[in-house]
Amino acid sequence: MGLADWFSIFCTNIQIQDGGTISTRYRNITQRLNTDFWNTTSDTSHSLYVGSYGRNTAIQGISDLDMIFQLPYSVYEKYNNYSGNGQSALLQAVKASVETTYSTTSIRSDGQVIVVPFSDGISFEVVPAFINEDDSYTYPDANNGGRWRITNPKPEIQVVRSRNNACNGNLVLLCRMVRAWKCKWDVPIGGLLIDTLAYQFIVDWQHSDKSYLYYDYMCRDFFNWMADQDSEQEYWKAPGSGQSVYGKGLFQYKAKRCYNISLEAIEHETATPKKEWSAKQKWREIFGTTFPD
C-alpha cells in the first residue's frame, strides 16, 4: 500500500458517514415548516443546506448542520411591523412549528437560528429567511432589540463546486483534510475561513489537476502557504459572496509546525530504503488517528 492509498483511505475515513440520518431529519424539519407556513407537505421545497455541509466540505463528527428555510414574504411583513423585536417573535413561531415534529428535543432559539439538538451530538441550526431579488436572504437577528441581516450562501456553494470540478475534486478533499488537522491541533479557525483559504490556494497550486499521489505535496504546500498569511490580517473575503470572514485567532504558528512535520514525512517517504511506517506516523501526528497507520 503506497502513498496514494494512505491519503485515499484517510479521505474515506473522514467523510460523512451518517448522511442518511441527516437527510431524514432535514426532510422532516422541511416538511413541518412547509406544512405550517406554505400549506404544502413537501419535504424538499424552500430548504437549502448551507455552511460546510452545503459546500460539501464537512467531515465525520460534524456537530452543527446549517439549513436555511425560506418563508413567504407575507411572514416578513407581519413580523417587520411588530412594535418590538419582531425578529424574536418570528424565531419563536418557527421554534413552535419544529417542536410539533420533535416535541421531545430541547429546541431553543439562539439569536439568529433555531437549534434542534439530537442525541447523537448533531444539532441542526435552522435559519428562517426571506429570499431577496438578488437571490440572497434576509434573516432575523433577535439580539440587541432585533434587526434584519443579509446572507448570501448560494454563490459560495456554486463557486466551491465549480473550482472543485476544475481541480479534479482536490479542493473539497483539501478542505476536509484541513478540518481533521483543525480538530487534531485545536486550531482557532472557522470552517468558512478554511474553505476560503483552500479556495485561494489551490487556484495557483501547480499540481491542482493531480490526484492522491500528490496529496503529501498538497498538504505541505498548503501549510506553508497558510503559515505565510499576514498575522495582522483580520478578515478574508469568502469566495462567491465576497462576505468578510473574520479570523478567530492565529493559525499561522500551528500551520508552520505542521509544514515542518510534513517535510519530515516526505523525507521518510523518499528515503532509500523508504521508511513508510515512519512517514505515516508523521502524517498521523498532523491529522490524527483517522490517517491510516
Q: Are residues 265 and 204 in the same domain?
A: yes
Q: Domain tally for the chain?
A: 2
Q: Are residues 75 and 106 in the same domain?
A: yes
Distance CA 258, CA 285 (A): 9
Q: pTM for the full model? A: 0.95
Q: Are residues 214 and 192 in the same domain?
A: yes
Does a structural domain hold residue 8? no
**Domain final residue pick, 151, 168, 202:** 151
Q: Are residues 243 and 122 in the same domain?
A: no
Sign of CA dihedral 131, 137, 141, 147: negative
Q: Are residues 203 and 269 in the same domain?
A: yes
Q: Are residues 236 and 250 in the same domain?
A: yes
Q: Are residues 36 and 137 in the same domain?
A: yes
Decide if 102 contacts 109 (C-beta within 8 A): no
Does a structural domain hold residue 160? yes
Does a structural domain hold residue 236? yes
**Domain final residue pick, 104, 132, 151:** 151
Decide if 234 contacts 29 (C-beta within 8 A): no
Give the type of residue at 262. Answer: S
* CB within 8 Å of 12: residues ≥ 6 apart: none
CB count within 10 Å of CB 234 equals 8
**Domain final residue pick, 122, 151, 180:** 151
Does a structural domain hold residue 78? yes
Residue range(s) defining the domain that contains residue 196: 155-287
Q: Are residues 115 and 198 in the same domain?
A: no
Residue 43 confidence (pLDDT): 97
Distance CA 71, CA 91 (A): 12
Q: Are residues 43 and 31 in the same domain?
A: yes
Q: Are residues 164 and 147 in the same domain?
A: no
Residue 222: C-alpha distances to residues 46, 88, 175, 255 (Å): 37, 42, 11, 9
Would you list the DSSP string of the chain?
A: --HHHHHHHHHHHHS-S-HHHHHHHHHHHHHHHHHHHTS---SSTTEEE-HHHHHT---TT--EEEEEEEPPHHHHHHHHT-SS-HHHHHHHHHHHHHHHH-TTS--EE-SSSEEEE-TTS-EEEEEEEEE-TTS-EEEEE-GGG-EEEEE-HHHHHHHHHHHHHHTTTHHHHHHHHHHHHHHHHT----HHHHHHHHHHHHTT-TTTT--GGGHHHHHHHHHHHHHTS-TT--EEEPTTT--EEE--S--HHHHHHHHHHHHHHHHHHTSSS--HHHHHHHHHHHH-TTS--
Q: Are residues 117 and 187 in the same domain?
A: no
Does a structural domain hold residue 292? no
Does a structural domain hold residue 10? no
Instruction: Read off the CATH number of the domain in which 40 is found.
Output: 3.30.460.90
First to last CA, the chain: 11
Does a structural domain hold residue 145? yes
Per-residue pLDDT of the chain (293 residues; tens, 9 = 90+): 799 999 999 999 999 998 999 999 999 999 999 999 999 999 999 999 999 999 999 999 988 999 999 999 999 999 999 988 999 999 999 999 999 999 878 999 989 999 999 999 999 999 999 999 999 999 999 999 999 999 999 999 999 999 999 999 999 999 999 999 999 999 999 999 999 999 999 999 999 999 999 999 999 999 999 999 999 999 999 999 999 999 999 999 999 999 999 999 999 999 999 999 999 999 999 999 999 99
Decide if 240 contacts 250 (C-beta within 8 A): no
Q: Are residues 194 and 99 in the same domain?
A: no
Does a structural domain hold residue 7? no
